[in-house]
Amino acid sequence: MDEWKEYAIAAKEAGKTYFTIGLELDELFGIKKSVDQLRTVCCPRIAAKTDKPRVVLVIADTHFPFQHTNYLQFLKDTAKEYGATDVVHIGDMCDNHAISRWQSETDADSATAEFDKALACVKQYTEAFPKATLLLGNHCKIPERQAATLGIPSGFLKSTHELWQLPDSWVVTEQVIIDDVLYDHGINALGVNGALNKATTSMMSCVIGHSHSCGGVQYRSNDKHLIFGLNVGCGISIRSYAFRYGKYNKFRETLGCGIVYNSAHADFIPMGAKYFDS
């Protein structure tokens, strides 16, 4: 591996941003790399298992503690039914409503009360899924962004692992590639075609979340390749005060999750009516 690539990977593992890494590469090696190029180099890759096919359960945005009451049971049932061997949480695990830069609802919990409730949810999910990969979404980064607004460096903050008391068997990263499928929260991949557009620009099959109303999978092919774009919807409760902003949205949230079999086959699994609130 090239020396600059080894440096970039080590710097990312140490918690440095891609912007900072780019500046350091320019200074140390005289190499200019974009953020997207650095993501490609630093993105963790998990190779295919040889003993049996890998089936990945993709948990959608949960926004703890504002997740749907029955979403966890739906996930456990889906994992069992489809024989999931691996688990990826697509991001926005916790909402951080009370510390967002947006105005909090007047009846919202305090930041401490919301955190305690969210932490209890995290513990339930890590017990149900002892090993998983967690991607960082825009809501996951609220504490870091708010600290930066006050001029507090990220080194003064707890890591995601420490903050949410995640087990060591949970991997936290921004993106991951599993069996030639890219998993990304999807911040810049909006709308009904967002996942497919992300797959097309990434030139590989892609799974995203973020756009809560766009659960589904689309395919694109040529004479040599078949790729898909999968949006896994969300697992939130639209009755929560944290989502009142979407009351008059044209499209409502789509509850569900994803199942990925390989780089040419994935399914969106909608959460059926039997799981809905009575």
Q: What is the rounded distance in angstroms from the CA atom of residue 50 to the CA atom of residue 261?
A: 14
89 and 149 both lie in a single domain: yes
pLDDT at 48 (0 to 100): 64
Specify whether 56 is located in the same domain as 142: yes
* CA–CA dist 20, 50 (Å, integer): 38
Among the candidates 11, 27, 42, a domain finishes at: 42
pLDDT-derived band of residue 274, with 50, 70 and 90 as boundaries?
A: confident
Other beta carbons less than 10 A from residue 82's beta carbon: 17
Return the pLDDT at 153: 87
The reply to whether 93 and 5 lie within a common domain is: no
What global pTM score does this model have?
0.85
Q: What CATH code is carried by the domain that includes residue 204?
A: 3.60.21.10
Residue corresponding to tokens 């949480």: 89
Shared domain for 139 and 215, answered yes or no, is yes
What is the average per-residue pLDDT within 213-232? 94
Region 55-67 average pLDDT: 97
pLDDT of residue 49: 62
Q: What is the pLDDT of residue 154?
A: 82
Instruction: Give the model confidence (pLDDT) of 23-46 as tens digits.
Output: 899 889 988 887 767 877 777 777
User: Could you tell me if residue 94 is left (phi over 0), alpha (psi between -120 and 50 degrees) or otherwise beta?
Assistant: beta
C-beta of residue 43 within 8 angstroms of C-beta of residue 13: no
Does residue 114 sit in the same domain as residue 138?
Answer: yes
Q: Domain count for the chain, please give it.
A: 2
**pLDDT over 70 at 248, yes or no:** yes
Helices (H), 66-180: 71-82, 111-128, 142-149, 160-163
Structural contact between residues 198 and 234, judged by C-beta atoms closer than 8 angstroms: no
Q: What is the pLDDT of residue 44?
A: 75
9 with 65, same domain? no
Query: 154-191 burial string, b = 16+ CB within 10 Å, else e?
Result: eeebeebeeebebeeebbbbbbbbbbebbbbbbbebbe
For the segment 215-241, the average pLDDT, to the nearest whole number, is 94
Same-domain pairing of 2 and 115: no
Whether the per-residue pLDDT at 227 is higher than 50: the answer is yes
Residues 34 and 57 in one domain: no
Distances in whole angstroms, Cα of residue 27 to Cα of each of 15, 85, 239 = 19, 43, 51
Residues 141 and 264 in one domain: yes
Domain limits for position 17: 1-42
Give yes or no: residues 2 and 96 share one domain: no
Whether 19 and 131 map to the same domain: the answer is no
Residue 278 has pLDDT above 60, yes or no: no
Distance from C-alpha of 210 to C-alpha of 90, rounded to nearest angstrom: 8
Q: Are residues 24 and 89 in the same domain?
A: no
